[in-house]
Each structure stands twice: as structure tokens, then as C-alpha cells.
């Protein structure tokens, strides 16, 4: 892979994840020999890199080079779901010009690349691990902000609310009023920006939250249904089955 003008020489790499109660992470500057590609796939929290502070939510990805102090924690009563890849390079200077933070709206694609890296590591396939790490860094390097439309920033904020609070019940007419639009116009603008209707986007957020909680938490399925905005376990189970082809209890196994 070419990053800038130079070939990236990977000397070590390792996948990890964490989602534990009262999680905190602190690393003094200079105490890590390489880089970490660090990504958020659920929950909320905060990370400080030197003097830069970021609120964490789904889709945030960081390239941490440990030239600054790192201090991160999850918000109380949430389970921050983090996936990361630690790696070292023989020629680390080629990455130092990349920004420390990116935000991916199409985070499911990036998550799939992380999962492919993990699968390759489980098979001890170093060649495949390099391929998927290089693909992730290429995505990170080349993501560009699209030209913002008149409603882009407000829709971005609304999507964050959907991601962080999928358990809430949203009234589309009230959301449209917040945009000073009719309901039909609001839905049409949202679909132009995100490719799906607001309701479909919310349902996607609920599904991903449910998957994360089923994999990473010990909450009962009834509590998970409530955390994802469903009034009862039966509606939740029907929804989950229709989207994944399996029941929540089977998915959890």
C-alpha cells in the first residue's frame, strides 16, 4: 500500500476489543511503540488526546500515535464498545500527517473490515491481516467530507441522537417541525442525505444496538428490547428475526 509517497512496512499487528463496566484508559505520551486504529461501535464516552477532547459515539475512528497523553472513559450507565488494531511500522513517519480523528457515517463497512482482520488473525494469516489493515488505513486516509447541503449538519446531529438514544420514541412530524419542514419534505431531504428514510435509519440503529448488547452485555432480552425502543419482547423478537433470520436468543449463543 502507498500512504503518501512511501510504502508502509508493517512489523506487528493485533486486534482487540473491550466493553466492560466502568472502563477507563490512560497512556502517558511516548509509552506505546506504535499506533492504534481505535473505533467506536456502541455506547458513549470521551477521549482526550493531548489538549484535544472528543465526545465518543458510533462511527468515530482515531489513529493514535501516542505522541500525546491518552485519557479515555465511557459515560456512566453505558457500555462503550471499542474495536481496535495495535500495529507498529518500520517506517512510522509516513502516517504522522494523517489526522487523529475521522468520523464514518458508513461505519458498517468499516466494521466489516475490522471483522475480516480479526478473522484473518484467528487463522494466523499474516498476509490477509496486512490486506485488511491496509484497506482500513486507506479508508481512513481518503475519507472526505461531502459538500454540505442546507440541512446536512442538522441531519448529522439527528443521526447521532438516533445512534445514542435508540430507545426513545420519535414523532416524525415533530422532527420535521424542528427543521421547519413539512413531514413529507423532511423525509425526502433525510433520504437524499442518508439514502434511507428517518424511520429506516432509526430501525437500523436499533438493530445494531441490539446486536451489540446481545454480544457484549449480560442484560436480559426483555431489557435489551426496552433499550432498543420496543414496548415488549414479542415485537422486538419479530423485528430482530425479520432482519437477521434468527431469534435474539439464538443470535446471542
Tell me the average confidence (pLDDT) per consecutive run of 10 residues in the chain, 253 residues long.
58 88 86 92 87 87 93 82 92 87 78 90 94 89 59 86 91 92 89 87 92 88 93 93 92 84
Question: In this structure, are 15 and 115 located in the same domain?
Answer: yes
The pLDDT mean for the chain works out to 87
Q: Is residue 147 part of a domain?
A: no
Question: In this structure, are 25 and 70 located in the same domain?
Answer: yes
| pLDDT per position as a tens digit, 106-158 | 677 788 889 899 999 999 999 999 999 998 998 888 765 444 466 888 888 89
Give me the number of domains the chain comprises: 2
- Chosen domain end from 113, 141, 169: 141
Residue 105: CATH number of its domain: 2.60.120.280
Residue 201 dihedral angles phi and psi, to the nearest 5°: -65, -45
Question: In this structure, are 13 and 45 located in the same domain?
Answer: yes
- Chosen domain end from 108, 141, 174: 141
* 3-state secondary structure (DSSP) of residue 13: strand
Note down the domain range covering 134: 2-141
Q: What is the pLDDT of residue 123?
A: 94
- Chosen domain end from 122, 141, 160: 141
Question: In this structure, are 136 and 82 located in the same domain?
Answer: yes
Alpha-carbon dihedral of residues 48, 53, 58, 64, nearest 10 degrees? Answer: -50
pTM above threshold 0.85: no
> Sign of torsion, CA 46 150 143 175?
positive
Residue 178: CATH number of its domain: 1.10.10.60
- Give the closest residue to 31 by CA, choosing from 80, 62, 70: 70
Q: Is residue 146 part of a domain?
A: no
Question: In this structure, are 124 and 53 located in the same domain?
Answer: yes
Q: What is the pLDDT of residue 160?
A: 87
Q: What is the pLDDT of residue 126?
A: 93
Q: What is the pLDDT of residue 75?
A: 81
Helix axes 152-164, 198-216, angle to 10 degrees: 30
Residue 108 dihedral angles phi and psi, to the nearest 5°: -65, -35
Q: What is the pLDDT of residue 210?
A: 92
Specify the residue for cell string 484535544.
52
Question: In this structure, are 135 and 166 located in the same domain?
Answer: no
Amino acid at each position: 500500500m502507498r500512504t503518501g509517497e512511501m510504502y508502509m512496512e508493517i512489523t506487528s499487528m493485533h486486534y482487540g476489543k473491550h466493553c466492560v463496566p466502568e472502563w477507563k484508559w490512560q497512556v502517558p505520551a511516548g509509552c506505546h511503540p506504535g499506533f492504534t486504529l481505535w473505533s467506536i461501535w456502541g455506547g458513549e464516552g470521551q477521549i482526550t488526546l493531548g489538549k484535544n477532547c472528543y465526545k465518543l459515539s458510533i462511527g468515530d475512528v482515531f489513529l493514535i500515535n501516542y505522541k500525546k497523553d491518552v485519557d479515555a472513559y465511557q459515560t456512566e450507565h453505558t457500555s462503550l464498545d471499542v474495536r481496535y488494531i495495535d500495529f507498529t511500522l518500520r517506517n512510522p513517519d509516513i502516517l504522522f500527517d494523517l489526522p487523529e480523528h475521522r468520523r464514518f457515517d458508513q461505519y458498517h463497512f468499516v466494521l466489516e473490515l475490522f471483522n475480516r482482520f480479526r478473522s484473518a488473525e484467528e487463522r494466523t494469516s499474516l498476509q490477509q491481516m496486512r490486506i485488511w489493515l491496509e484497506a482500513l488505513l486507506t479508508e481512513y486516509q481518503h475519507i472526505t467530507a461531502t459538500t454540505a447541503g442546507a440541512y446536512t449538519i442538522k441531519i448529522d446531529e439527528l443521526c447521532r441522537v438516533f445512534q445514542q438514544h435508540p430507545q426513545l420514541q420519535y414523532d416524525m412530524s415533530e422532527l420535521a417541525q424542528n427543521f421547519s419542514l413539512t413531514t413529507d419534505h423532511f423525509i425526502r431531504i433525510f433520504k437524499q442525505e442518508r439514502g434511507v428514510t428517518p424511520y429506516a435509519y432509526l430501525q437500523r440503529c436499533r438493530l445494531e444496538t441490539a446486536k451489540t448488547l446481545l454480544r457484549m452485555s449480560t442484560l436480559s432480552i426483555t431489557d435489551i428490547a426496552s433499550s432498543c425502543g420496543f414496548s415488549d419482547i414479542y415485537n422486538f423478537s419479530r423485528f430482530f428475526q425479520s432482519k437477521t433470520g434468527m431469534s435474539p436468543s439464538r443470535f446471542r449463543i
